[in-house]
Amino acid sequence: MKNNSEIISDFSANHPAGWNVEQFRANWFAFLESIVRENSTLIPPRRVQYQVEQAAAFREIVAGWDSMDGFRRLDAWKRLLMIADESSREVLPVCVQCGECCRRGSPTLHREDLELLRSGKIPWGKIMTLRSGEPARSPFDGRPFLLPEERIKIREKEGSRECTFFDSEAGQCAIYDDRPLQCRAQACWDPMPARDLAEQQPFLKRADIFEGVGVLLDMIAEHENRCGFASLADAFEALSRNGGENVDEILRHLSYEDHFRRFVSEKFQVPGTDLELLFGRSFTDMVPLFGYRVTEEPDGTRCLVPDETGD
Ligand code: SF4
């Protein structure tokens, strides 16, 4: 059983009355997050944090925290949680550039954004294609869905959903003045402008980008015809139905698609980064979507193995 001094020390560590200002800061965001979660709002907690921390009341509390006695700290803490609760329900209708939208995913481009690409403000290597049928996430509520038609997107940083243009150290967009339409419409306090945009403004397509370049449009059509995303999804569905009998068929799909990309890259001098714009992600890169990964034996033979990493 704990003695009195241990009980007092536990109480101090877990209770605002016993925190110094560093402990206060270390605990504050966790409490704020749980308030936002309880209020079931889609507003990112960091956005609410930004708003509360700009308020005079917050600054006053932090500045005086260490000199308050336990009762006053408790009182100040309660006041702060009430402000956080109010702020999570009534976010000020203004973008404070907290960067949360940029951490949650990169934008999909509209036809009107084409000029940003043509002028070089957004380099070609920074965009990619998601093809019809591929899984994607709703920018409004983060829910997964299957794309009914292709989309052109700004790339995300590897292993995260953060936009490639987001400078996480500075917490800023590197192309803020020239950011795409979706970024301009996105407002975490009101999903309507972005929804209206998605419904009213045509999305950018590869056909718009490569208009007039017949040979590339033919290659894209041929690739869709022979290596459509649905053909890979069907092969994996068959794999789960028949207990692994068609592994070779899937590996043939992967090899053929790799070969197609290499051929186009070499023949038309297309850099590797631009291939994801021309043909979307490679079949090999998409294998993890189906719960598998590709390994290579020392003699170069490729194998398909269940991905147990859970990534
Ligand atoms: S382009 Fe800029 S504003 Fe848009 S998501 Fe990327 S970093 Fe954020």
pLDDT in tens, 225-248: 999 999 999 999 998 888 777 888
| Burial profile 270-307: b = 16 or more Cβ within 10 angstroms, e = fewer | beeebbbbbbbbbbbebbeebebbbeeeeeeeeebeee
Helices (H) and strands (E) in the chain, counts: 15, 8
Compute the distance from residue 121 Cα to the ligand 1 centre, in Å: 13
3-class SS of residue 164 = coil
What gap in Å lies between CA 140 and CA 186, rounded to an integer?
Answer: 9
Beta strand 166-167 pairing with 151-154? unpaired
Compute the distance from residue 162 Cα to the ligand 1 centre, in Å: 9
pLDDT tens-digit map of 113-166: 999 999 999 999 999 999 999 988 887 777 888 999 999 999 999 989 999 999
pLDDT tens-digit map of 24-48: 988 898 888 888 888 766 788 888 8
Residues having CB closer than 6 A to ligand 1 are 101-102, 106-107, 154, 163, 165-166, 173, 175, 179, 183
What gap in Å lies between CA 297 and CA 270, rounded to an integer?
Answer: 29
Backbone angles phi, psi at 43, to 5 degrees: -65, 130
Closest CA to 32 of 19, 6, 50, 18: 50
